[in-house]
Structure 1
Amino acid sequence: MRSAKMERNTSETKIKVEVVIDGEGKCTVDTGVGFLDHMLNLFSRHGMFDLEISAKGDLEVDEHHTVEDLGFVMGQAFDKALGERKGITRYGFFLLPMDEALAQVAVDLGGRPYLQYIAEFRREKVGELSTELVRDFFEAFARGCRANVSVTLLAGENDHHKAEAIFKAFARAMRSACEMDARQKGIPSTKGEI
């Protein structure tokens, strides 16, 4: 079973993440940021990843440290669970409509962290989540997972729908990239390593 547990304890946050890649979409999450919890539940369900997440941060300051550190630790947990990445599909892509919103996400689990992010929101916050932190979450995840993540919001009016489309598309792209390819016996790279 491809799974991992990661923790990060700093003066700003205490984060615990457990991931099962070949899961059933079960999720237990408590970050103290309700809208982020909602997005992570969607990610778990649509990626079919089992997630257990506990995050306690300095929310009296704002949610920045919690969101960024959680993205990084989640990325690290996926990185650890993927191991050497032998036999994985490596690439994933998904185009997802959510009512009037349309999001496109592509993922390369090739070991080189990078984020391409093109998305704009009208409001400063959705629930308790600052919309600028959506980008920070994905950037931190890409670093922690050693993944290239490309997020493009192609359409949308409602900021809730925009964020939801992005997280669902990310879930589906990650699911595809993490899937095992029966024809791929080794590491999916001509270099022989990731």
Structure 2
Amino acid sequence: VSTGVPFFDHMMSQLGKHSGFDLTIKTTGDVDVDSHHSVEDTSLAFGQALREALGDKVGIRRFGDSMVPLDEVLVQAAVDLSGRPYLVHRQPEIVELIGDFDTTLGKHIWESIVAEARIALHIRVLEGRNAHHVFEAQFKAVARALRDAVSKDGRVAGIPSTKGSL
């Protein structure tokens, strides 16, 4: 993972590791201006890649959820691979830098992924103070929820929806 934004590289690496996704990310952008465009474009591309990798979603579990502790932080994430983008993101306000990473991009990362992946995603930070831990626990919780949602379920014949499509 190489986006030109070291902390974001760390977060996307966590997402790949804990989801079981084999991620290769190489972003080039205007990080000399700031990291916003590189983070946003990488998030959009990840969302698009996830949607394309899911294909017709035949046989998947569709839903996934996770609760992840990281020291003083506790994060809950739930995902529905519904085809309908929706984000609920509850996190204490964090206005600081982690290294040179602008933490105000946090919600925007998830908005971008959700928009392109066309998934419903709920993230709640239940406890936590340390900005690094708050961010990292979110990425790990979402990764584990995605890992469950994309898993094949032998009991599911066809699309996991009564409508016949997702």
TM-score (norm. length: structure 2): 0.97
Instruction: Quote the residue 2:161 is aligned against.
Output: 189
The equivalent position to 1:112 in structure 2, one of 74, 80, 84, is 84
* Structure 1 spans left out of the alignment, 5+ residues: 1-28
1:155 aligns with 2:120: no
* Structure 2 spans left out of the alignment, 5+ residues: none
The count of residues paired between Structure 1 and Structure 2 equals 166
Residue 37 of structure 2 aligns to a residue in which SS? helix
- Deviating more after overlay: 160-169 vs 128-137: 128-137
Instruction: Quote the residue 1:52 is aligned against.
Output: 24
Give the conservation status (yes or no) of the 8 Å contact 1:121–1:131.
Answer: no
Residue 15 of structure 2 aligns to a residue in which SS? helix
Shift of 1:62: 1.2
Instruction: Quote the residue 1:127 is aligned against.
Output: 99
Coordinate RMSD, CA, aligned: 0.9
Shift of 1:124: 2.0
Once the two structures are superposed, residues 97-146 of structure 1 have per-residue CA deviations (whole angstroms, 9 ceiling, x without a partner) of: 00000111110001000111111244422122211111111110001111
Give the conservation status (yes or no) of the 8 Å contact 2:94–2:104.
Answer: no
Q: Which AA in structure 2 matches 1:95?
A: M
Sequence identity (%): 46
Q: Which has the higher helix share?
A: 2
Instruction: Quote the residue 2:72 is aligned against.
Output: 100
Residue 28 of structure 2 aligns to a residue in which SS? strand
Residue 93 of structure 1 aligns to a residue in which SS? strand
Residue 125 of structure 2 aligns to a residue in which SS? strand
Residue 96 of structure 1 aligns to a residue in which SS? strand
Give the conservation status (yes or no) of the 8 Å contact 2:95–2:104.
Answer: no
Q: Which AA in structure 1 matches 2:14?
A: L
Instruction: Point out which structure has higher relative CO (alpha carbons under 8 A, 6+ apart).
Output: 2
Residue 36 of structure 1 aligns to a residue in which SS? helix
Aligned-partner Cα distance in 2 for 1:37–1:69: 13
Once the two structures are superposed, residues 9-58 of structure 1 have per-residue CA deviations (whole angstroms, 9 ceiling, x without a partner) of: xxxxxxxxxxxxxxxxxxxx100100000111111111111000001111
Instruction: Quote the residue 2:50 is aligned against.
Output: 78
Check 1:85–1:120 CA distance in 2 against 1; reply closer, same or farther (3 A cut): same
Give the conservation status (yes or no) of the 8 Å contact 1:87–1:185.
Answer: yes
Give the conservation status (yes or no) of the 8 Å contact 1:121–1:159.
Answer: no
Instruction: Quote the residue 2:33 is aligned against.
Output: 61
- Deviating more after overlay: 125-134 vs 94-103: 125-134
TM-score (norm. length: structure 1): 0.83
Q: Which has the higher strand share?
A: 1
Shift of 1:89: 0.4
Q: Where has structure 1 moved over 6 Å in runs of 4 or more?
A: none
